[in-house]
A = this chain, B = another copy of it.
Amino acid sequence: MPEIRLMRRVLASNDALAAAQLKVLDRHGVLGINIMSGPGAGKTSLVERTAEALGRKYRIQVIEGDIQGDLDARRVTAKGVSCVQINTQGACHLDGLMLGPAMGEIDFGKLDLLIIENVGNLVCPAEFALPAHYNVTVISTPEGSDKPVKYPLMFSKSDVLVINKMDLLPHVDFDLPALKKVVRKLKPGITFIETSARTGAGVDKWVAWLEQKLRARRKSR
C-alpha cells in the first residue's frame, strides 16, 4: 500500500510545517482557531457572529477554505473583517502547505485573532494540523447525535464542540446528553457550547470563551 506510507510522510511534514507557522502566531501573541465541521453545520454563520461581536474590539483575520468559490469570504468581509479565500481545487481539507501563501500575506504584528474556517468535511480536516491553538468543531442538531460514534477522530481532536442550530432541536431527533457522553469519552475535558448562529442564542457563550483565550494571550505578550 504505497499511498498509505506516502500519506504518513505527508502528515508528518505537515505537522512540522503547521508547528512552524504556529510559532509565527506565538511570536506576535496572536490566537489561532481552526473551525471544522461537516458541510452546512454553520461555520461561516458562527464566524459572522464572531465578527459582529468582536470585530471592533480585536483585530481579526479570517482564512476561508473552500473547494471553490468565494461565497464564504464575501459573507465574512461583509461583516467588516478581512479575509483570505483559499480554494483547495478539489482537496477535501486545508493543510499547512495550502496556508503558506496566505501566511506570507498576513501582517501578524497587527493582529489579535486568526480564524481559519476549514473545508466542510467531518473526516479529512481532522488529520491535518494547522497553525491554530484550538480546534473548534461545529455540529448541528439536524445532523443527528450519532455523529461522534461515526466520525470519532474529528471529535477526539477538538478542544471545543459548538452544538449549533439549537433552534431546530424541537423539530429533529437529537439526543444531546447521549452526544455529550460519547464526545467526553473521545476527548475528556472538551468544552461544549450550545448555539443558534441563526437566532444568535448562545453565541455570547462562544464569544466569552474566545475573549477569555484572547485576554490570556494578550497578557502573555
Question: Of all chain B residues, which has the CB nearest A75?
Answer: B146
Query: Among residues 45 to 96 in chain A, which have CB atoms less than 8 Å away from a CB atom of chain B?
Result: 66-69, 71-72, 90, 92
Residues of chain B lying within 8 A (CB to CB) of residue A172: 168
User: B168 touching A142 by the CB < 8 A rule?
Assistant: yes
A10 an interface residue at 8 Å Cβ cutoff? Answer: yes
Question: Of all chain B residues, which has the CB nearest A119?
Answer: B123
- Determine how many copies of this chain the complex contains: 2
Question: Of all chain B residues, which has the CB nearest A9?
Answer: B3
A154 to chain B, nearest CB (A): 9
Residues of chain B lying within 8 A (CB to CB) of residue A2: 6
Q: Known interface pairs A6-B2, A150-B69, A153-B90. Does A122 touch B120 (Cβ–Cβ under 8 Å)?
A: yes
User: A150 touching B6 by the CB < 8 A rule?
Assistant: no
A94 to chain B, nearest CB (A): 12
Query: Among residues 138 to 154 in chain A, which have CB atoms less than 8 Å away from a CB atom of chain B?
Result: 140, 142-144, 146-147, 149-153
The 7 closest A-B pairs by CB, nearest first: A40-B143, A92-B123, A142-B142, A38-B39, A40-B144, A39-B122, A38-B38
